[in-house]
Amino acid sequence: MTDTELDADEARQQLYATMKSDLPFEDKAERALSIGTTYLGVERGYINKIDQETDYWKTIASTDREDGVAPPGTRLDLNKTYCRRTLREDDSIALHDAPNQGWADDVAYEEHGLRCYHGTTIEVAGEPYGTVCFSSDGRRSAPFTEEETMFAELVARLLEHELERQRTEAKIARLDRFAGAVSHDLRNPLNVAMGRLEMEREKRDTENLRVATSALDRMEDLITDVLTMARQGQDVSEMESVSLASITEGCWDSIRSPDSELRGVGDLTFRADQDRLKQLFENLFRNSVEHGSTSSRTGSGDSVEHGSTSDRQRTEDSTLVRADTGVTITVGALADGDGFFVADDGPGIPESDRQAVLEPGYSTGDEGIGLGLAIVDSIASAHDWELTITESDAGGTRFEIRDVITNE
């Protein structure tokens, strides 16, 4: 155990300066944890995201590097950690010498052998989010003082606030994008309808009536899409266990195209809002089907053009079912178990466009307003999932969704 190199005032000053900086959350968190480890005289600090219903425990920020005990991305069974006890307590848990404080028979000590541990619960949106922990393999020379515990709790509260702020900013950004799409895309068809109807009042021309009716129908479709996007962007409050295989089969039944096929894959059980998850898969499937098959490239604007009939191989365990003139879609769990993917065998999305396709209004066609993939991104964000777009093994498009709470 190293000697404390910072006094309380210095530690607080450095902590406040770090949290006021413009650094990304990951950098702020690592620096705050590093200040905490120095002040407390321990070996490491880390933030964990936890779901008590599924015993999910994952490190999202840490002072440890990849070869350390708990680097970012480390996943453990919650029931075998001290954090399970931290979540049940009203106060922080402070252990300077666990086996000699009555914890020798605790499953966490037996599993990991940490003699020194200090843990504090953090909440986001009024619900338990996880813990901020400081630990060492060996015993600490002295118990944690009240002042040291107060500092550890200060670190937790500041990081808790940063997570809240990050979530709020993401929500505001989503709403701003939605408002921009609404103000631009709803006004255009409405003006068309109004102009044509005015002309009809003067000429009584049947064609104008048809044009006006078409424009009004389009406006109704736009309103439906925008309302869907706004609804899907709201934070998820209730989740349930879902089966990847079952939910994708059901979604495929509603999208099914005679020329396209869904590739069967192994199952994955995870927690999600089932209705929104269905919308996510249906939008991704529709995106591939509407533009992926050689017989259906009609240019719907709520999709991004990618998909074809090229052959493909994947490393995930699955059985390939080929489509003769359409697109083949593959769905499966990621190799590291952190989420799932949806891939097709088309020409793919250029790397320079992969961020743009998730923005409201991006469209490759003339009919829609480009909200299909924006809704997918919105649903992922509402679940606190990470969505990325890469190239599939066959050169098509692969959507990867990570940070999913899985039932292991």
- Phi, psi dihedral angles at 317 (to 5 degrees): -70, 115
Instruction: State mean pLDDT over 358-383.
Output: 77
pLDDT digits (tens, 9 = 90+) for 265-319: 778 999 999 988 998 999 999 888 876 654 333 333 334 433 333 333 333 433 3
Q: In order of start, what are the domains of the chain with their CATH numbers?
A: 8-168 (3.30.450.40), 237-402 (3.30.565.10)
Cα separation, 77 vs 65, whole angstroms: 20
Q: Identify the helix (H) or strand (E) that includes residue 287.
A: helix 274-292
pLDDT at 6 over 60: yes
pLDDT at 106: 96
| Residue 140: pLDDT band with limits 50, 70, 90 | very high
Tokens of residue 301, six digits: 């604007």
Contact present, 38 and 21 (Cβ < 8 Å): no
Euclidean distance between CA atoms 12 and 154, whole angstroms: 9
Give me the pLDDT at residue 318, please: 37
**Lowest mean pLDDT across 33-47, 312-326, 371-385:** 312-326
pLDDT at 229: 64
> Is the Cβ–Cβ distance between 29 and 72 less than 8 Å?
no
CA torsion sign for 23, 350, 279, 402 is negative
Are 51 and 66 in contact by the 8 Å Cβ rule? The answer is no
Residue 179 has a pLDDT of: 67
Instruction: Report the SS3 class of residue 85.
Output: helix
Torsion angles phi and psi, residue 134, rounded to 5: -130, 135
For residue range 221-231, list pLDDT tens digits in order.
Answer: 767 776 666 66
121, 131 Cβ separation under 8 angstroms: yes
* Higher pLDDT among residues 205 and 242, named by residue: 242
User: How much is the pLDDT for 299?
Assistant: 37
Q: What is the pLDDT of residue 85?
A: 95
Helices 206-232 & 187-203, crossing angle to 10 degrees?
160
Task: State the chain's mean pLDDT as an integer.
Answer: 83
Q: Which of 32-41, 182-191, 206-215, 386-395 has the lowest mean pLDDT?
A: 182-191
Is the pLDDT assigned to residue 360 strictly greater than 60?
yes
Distance CA 226, CA 326 (A): 29
Q: What mean pLDDT comes out for the span 17-44?
A: 95
Residues 142-167: tens digit of each pLDDT: 999 999 999 999 999 999 999 998 88
pLDDT at 87 over 70: yes
pLDDT of residue 386: 94
Q: Is the confidence at residue 358, as pLDDT, over 50?
A: yes
| Token pair recorded at residue 30 | 């690592």
Query: Is the distance from CB of 307 to CB of 300 less than 8 angstroms?
Result: no
> In this structure, which amino acid lies at residue 226?
V
Q: What percent of the chain has pLDDT over 90?
A: 50
Provide mean pLDDT across the span 227-251.
Answer: 81
